[in-house]
Amino acid sequence: MIMTVSRKTLKSFPTHIVVFLAPAVLIYSVFMIYPLLDSIRLSFYTADQAGVTTFSGFANYVTIFTDEAWSNSFWNAFKNNMVLFAIHMAVQNPIGLMLAAILSLPRLTGRHTYRTAMFMPTMMSVVIIGFVWQLILNPLWGVAESVMDLVGLADYFEPWLGQEGTALVTISLISVWQFVGIPLMLLYAALLNIPEDLVDAGQIDGANHWRIFWYIKFPMILPAMGVVSILTFVGNFNAFDLIYALKGGLAGPNFSTDIMGSFFYRVFFGFQLQLGNPTMGAAVATLMFLIILVGIMIYLFGVQRRLNRI
């Protein structure tokens, strides 16, 4: 039955498919794909002092990987970005999963209120979040310090945002705090979609919440976990705003919070007396694209295939 319908649509290309696809494809192609292709084209050019561009093949890429100053910056940003991603995977997603699991428990009172409150930070602009946390962690204002004093830890307070060893971790945790709502939301929706009779069957068998979660629910939401992971990866490798809001274009101290997005920004648009280099920036952005592409490939052909097999 299904097959016959599919076969039929294959023969003549029906107008309704075109109608369904056309608006999205049109807007997307004009305002996203064309500008991106144009920028990739730009990465194969160099500009002289007067801004005239000439074709130069892979020269920009060769510079990035062979010139020590460039390659150091690039690999530093890449490494920091991996740290950012690792912290999100290790902290944000487990917390999101835990909260989603608790919120989806049957007969929980006040779940709407909890969920609304927990998603609140995700709704806020990075401009606001960045500023708020900067105020809280600000040694001059002393809020974080006095909170730590309440639990007797005041001596352990340090200007975390300003120290080379702690700045990146601190920013990552601020980002986790803000965006934990996203895995929470996706996993919560996935958990709600689990047929109730499956869970009921488990309950009849006398399994407790813990067992029901790990043996019945968790396998059912693995695809959603996959989606969450890949979204985290893509989001982290596109991140920029929070670093920019908290640490400015130089991503200090000593570039310890520089990630791919801030590196791209600095190269592309310049910084203070450092002039912007659009063609080099385009090359950096193309590399970011490739990194993300590799990540997605690993997901599609490694992780998802295995998930589907389960």
Site residues for another protein, 4-33, by CB under 8 A, read 5-6, 9-10, 13-14, 16-17, 19-21, 23-25, 27-28, 30-33
Give the binding range for another protein (CB under 8 A) out of 83-91, 161-169, 199-207, 212-220. Answer: 161-169
Helices in the chain by DSSP H: which ranges?
2-11, 15-28, 34-42, 59-66, 68-87, 93-103, 111-123, 126-137, 143-150, 167-179, 181-192, 196-204, 209-211, 218-220, 222-238, 241-247, 260-269, 278-297, 305-309
Q: For the segment 215-254, give every residue that binds another protein (CB under 8 A).
A: 223, 227, 231, 234, 238, 240-241, 247-250, 252-254
Torsion angle of alpha carbons 258, 50, 47, 279, nearest 10°?
Answer: 40
First to last CA, the chain: 27
The CB-of-19 to another protein minimum distance in angstroms stands at 8
Please tell me the distance from the alpha carbon of residue 120 to that of residue 63, in angstroms, as a whole number: 44
Per-residue x/- marks for another protein, 31-50, CB under 8 A?
Answer: xxxxxx-xx--x------xx
Candidates 65, 71, 94, 125; binder of another protein (CB under 8 A) is 125
Q: For the segment 162-221, give every residue that binds another protein (CB under 8 A).
A: 162-164, 177, 182, 185-186, 188-189, 192-193, 195-196, 209
The CB-of-288 to another protein minimum distance in angstroms stands at 6
Q: For the segment 285-304, give every residue that binds another protein (CB under 8 A).
A: 285-286, 288-289, 292-293, 296
> What's the half-sphere exposure (Cβ side, CA atoms, 13 Å) at 100?
27
What is the token pair recorded at 46? 């160099």
Candidates 121, 148, 154, 304; binder of another protein (CB under 8 A) is 121
